[in-house]
Amino acid sequence: MQIRWSNFQTGLTQIPAQHQHHQCDGPTVQYADGNAAVAHTQAELQESVDNFHAAYTCFGLTVNKAKTKILAQSRPRKNLPSTSSKEIENRLPAGHTAYGTLSTRVFMYKDLTTRTKVMVYNAIIVSTLLYACETWTLYRRDLKKLEQFHQKELRAIMKIKWDNYVSNTAVIERANDTSIVAMIMKHRLR
């Protein structure tokens, strides 16, 4: 095993190896606080621990067995429910609550223009709904739920009833707004 360190702020110093098969070149190290090794089997983990021990020995350090922690995780199971779907299920009620809070003061208020209402809707309700959406793994069913929410609230703001037979694209055009899919893509491009 050969350990090489890049030249940091100090020059490289030669540290003599204690064993013939180890050669260590590196800056003087006083502390070694955090190391991580990924291993899939116990044999790989033992090999990693042995390599760390050999590297520490080269630098004159010792491994404190009392402070050493090993985190073992099992492999994730397949077909688990998506955390993004759960997040969306939590975001939808938050969006409904935000809309309900503002409905009488803003969205039902007759003296405000539709443009102002849509701007308030986008600033408060959509931002609540799409918080951290750039990290979501989205499925078609998730996009459908988000788009249904968006359409329902825009139709309520513009007083478009279901029996008026107005298409979703026409609602978006009347509101001078974009679809939820377009908003999510815009968030991801930031």
pLDDT at 74: 65
CA torsion through residues 155, 160, 161, 162, sign: negative
| Sequence ranges of the domains in the chain | 2-58, 83-189
45: pLDDT strictly greater than 60: yes
DSSP 78-118: TTPPPHHHHHHHHHHHHHHHHHHHHIIIIIT-TTS-HHHHH
Tens digit of pLDDT for each residue in 158-190? Answer: 999 988 899 999 999 999 999 999 999 998 887
CA distance 132 to 53: 41
- What angle do the packed helices 140-157 and 168-175 form, to 10 degrees? 50
Tens digit of pLDDT for each residue in 88-147? Answer: 998 999 999 999 999 988 999 889 999 999 999 999 999 999 988 888 888 999 999 999
pTM over 0.85: no
- Eight-class DSSP state of 159: T
